[in-house]
Amino acid sequence: MKEKRLAIFDMDGILVSSEHVYASGWQYALKSLGLDHLVPSEELFYMRGASSASNLATINRYVNDWSLTQQVKAVRDQYFIDELNVGHVPLLPYAKELLAYLQAKPDIQLILASNTPSNRGQLILAKHDLAKYFDQIIMGDHVENLKPAPDIYLKALKLAQVPAEQAIIFEDSLTGATAGKNAHIDILLVPEEPIPDEDIAKNDKIIAVLDTLEDALAYFD
């Protein structure tokens, strides 16, 4: 993949194994407030990679009480921080190895582009000493519209001054992959949890589905 001059990484589910903590956090919050019977478990799967506003809207569709929905989010957010602090949000295999490998290539820029808000994102980056690998870091509060809108990836292209055809995105979720498609950028999909083949087939910018980040090394030989 010598024609690529920009590698854009999602964070949650690509670099750190956090998506299961977010999901269990929603479950914990709903149960602690006696609301777990209201939200179908399959909804939590499709909330992966979505914006906070989108997820809140999903929860509120079932809870039907905005104040209560905000309480659910507050409990979920604290649950995540607690899990991060005790080491339950680990790096995914080969994350640092791939970042270091690409960072050593002088013709490739690295940008982090995550829906996660800066306050939580910086805690995750600091926990695993990841910020040093990136030329630019874009968090969810740096753009107007979050994934699946293309804004965050279009901003990455603008910062790097690289056209879409010379960029590649590392994503784990359908939400993020849709954002990549909307930005007309090729995608290497590395799902932390299985994604139905029919959903993957709908996105013509996904050039490969990989088991781990180690498999991505072959694309940059």
* Angstrom distance (rounded) from CA 87 to CA 91: 10
pLDDT(45) > 90: no
Query: What element of type H or E holds 99?
Result: helix 95-103
Q: Band of the pLDDT at 33, cuts 50, 70, 90? A: very high
pLDDT at 203 over 80: yes
pLDDT digits (tens, 9 = 90+) for 112-167: 999 999 999 999 999 999 999 999 999 999 999 999 999 999 999 999 999 999 99
The closest of 3, 62, 2, 1 to 33, measured between CA atoms, is 62
So what's the pLDDT on residue 1?
63
**Structural domain boundaries in the chain:** 6-17+90-220, 19-85
User: Do 154 and 183 meet the contact criterion of CB atoms below 8 Å apart?
Assistant: yes
What dihedral angle (degrees, nearest 10) is formed by the CA atoms of 112, 95, 53, 162?
30
d(CA 8, CA 27): 30
What's the angle, vertex CA 191, arms to CA 133 and CA 166, rounded to 5? 50
Higher pLDDT, 195 or 134: 134
49: left (phi over 0), alpha (psi -120 to 50) or beta: left
**Distant-in-sequence contacts of 198-206, Cβ < 8 A, 24+ apart:** 199/174, 203/174, 203/177, 203/178, 205/177, 205/180, 205/181, 206/177, 206/181
Nearest Cα neighbor of 102 from 126, 133, 129, 128 is 133
Whether residue 2 has pLDDT greater than 70: no
The CATH class of 6-17+90-220 is: alpha beta
- pLDDT of 113: 98
Q: What is the mean pLDDT of residues 178-202?
A: 95
**Over 90: is that where the pLDDT of 44 sits?**
no
- pLDDT tens, 163-189? 999 999 999 999 999 999 999 999 999
Q: What is the pLDDT of residue 51?
A: 78
pLDDT of residue 50: 76
Q: Is the pLDDT of residue 9 over 80?
A: yes
Q: Is 171 helix (H, G, I), strand (E, B) or coil?
A: strand
Ranges of beta strands (E only) in the chain are 6-9, 109-113, 136-138, 167-171, 186-189, 206-209
Q: What is the pLDDT of residues 68-111, one digit of tens each?
A: 999 999 999 999 999 999 999 999 999 999 999 999 999 999 99
| DSSP strand pairing (136-138 vs 6-9) | unpaired
d(CA 40, CA 94): 34
Contacting residues for 107 by C-beta, under 8 A, at least 6 apart: 5
Confidence of residue 46 (pLDDT cuts 50, 70, 90): confident
Residue 132 sits at φ, ψ, to 5 deg, of -65, -15
